[in-house]
Amino acid sequence: MVTTLTPARLTRQAAGIGLRPLHPAIGAEVTGLDLAAPLAAPVLDVLHDALIEHGVLLLRGQRALPEALARGLAAAEAPLLGQAMHQAPPPLPLAVGPTPDLPPPGAAPDPFWHADRSYAAEPALACLLRAEAAGGTIAFIDQRRALARLPAGLRGRLESLRAVHASPLDPAQRSEHPVLRQHPVTGEASLYVNPAFATRILNLPAAESRRLLDLLLAAATEEALAWRHAWQPGDVLVWDNRSVLHTACGGPGYEALRIGGDHPTGFDAPSWVVAG
């Protein structure tokens, strides 16, 4: 039988890049790529497409976390955002920080499931971390899968709802976002609430808001959908912060990059055409 190769597969083969699934519900390991070498545009396009498809990418044994990787992913995304959403490209220069969002001091020990900066008007588009040493774990759940497990009738109701997201460190940092988020590149729907920052659903009585939010948070953190990773030195993880939740990443130290994001859009907004 003759196998027809797509342009992405041809590029992967030419560059010697492999993709290995990490979990039935999320993630892929990228093999055959040294981030210390120059990253050509076709390779970055392959990584960008794989990131959106799988939600999380793992690259092992990397000597550094180059800003060129984050900038290249942002550059691959920019024209797609411009065509599909009529938005400005992701903001550059990149936000560079020592850590992603962390639990507030004194918080009860729990996984701290969250999407980075969902309390901001424009949450992070994607996040990148490299472990400097072994130790600690991080977990991920694809919120497209979480949404698909909810009853169809409930999914329809969620299309018109919005939730408040607030920082536990500074309640003044708060935003309202759709409960169902539309991915700006693919148009896919994902559940967009998280235990760390989502505080209530708007336009519902307090008790009803609490009951519905608890139900959605349970779906968003369903154990059967979780992939957990034990950090090893040189591990690099990249995740799509728009469709994936992650836990706090305990461990000895990290390099971190965050790509600036776009304004979350729901399904009660005017329709648009996905860029091809």
**CA 62 – CA 156 distance, rounded (Å):** 43
Question: Residue 143 corresponds to which tokens in the numbers above?
Answer: 């919120």
Strand-strand pairing, 28-31 and 56-59: parallel
Residue closest to 30 by CA, chosen among 2, 5, 4, 49: 49
Residue 75 — pLDDT band, cuts 50, 70, 90? confident
What value does the mean pLDDT take over residues 166-190? Answer: 94
What value does the mean pLDDT take over residues 60-72? Answer: 93
Residue 273 — pLDDT band, cuts 50, 70, 90? very low
Lowest mean pLDDT among 80-94, 196-210, 222-236: 80-94
DSSP string, 75-94: HHHHHHHHHHT--PPPPSSP
Task: Tell me the pTM.
Answer: 0.88
* Choice between 58 and 263, residue whose per-residue pLDDT is larger: 58
pLDDT at 177: 98
**CB-based contact 122:260 (threshold 8 Å):** yes
In three-state form (DSSP H/G/I as H, E/B as E, the rest C), the secondary structure along 144-158 is HHHHHCCCHHHHHHH
**CB-based contact 178:264 (threshold 8 Å):** yes
pLDDT at 20: 96
**CB-based contact 225:191 (threshold 8 Å):** no
Q: What is the DSSP letter of 15?
A: H
CB atoms within 10 A of CB 19: 19
Span 193-218, pLDDT tens digits? 999 999 999 999 999 999 999 999 99
Share of the chain above pLDDT 90, in %: 65
If you average pLDDT over every residue of the chain, what do you get? 86
**CA 183 – CA 84 distance, rounded (Å):** 10
* Sequence letter at residue 213: L
Q: What is the DSSP letter of 225?
A: G
CATH code assigned to 7-259: 3.60.130.10
**CA 256 – CA 276 distance, rounded (Å):** 31
* Choice between 248 and 204, residue whose per-residue pLDDT is larger: 204
What value does the mean pLDDT take over residues 41-68? Answer: 95
In this model, does residue 2 exceed pLDDT 50? no
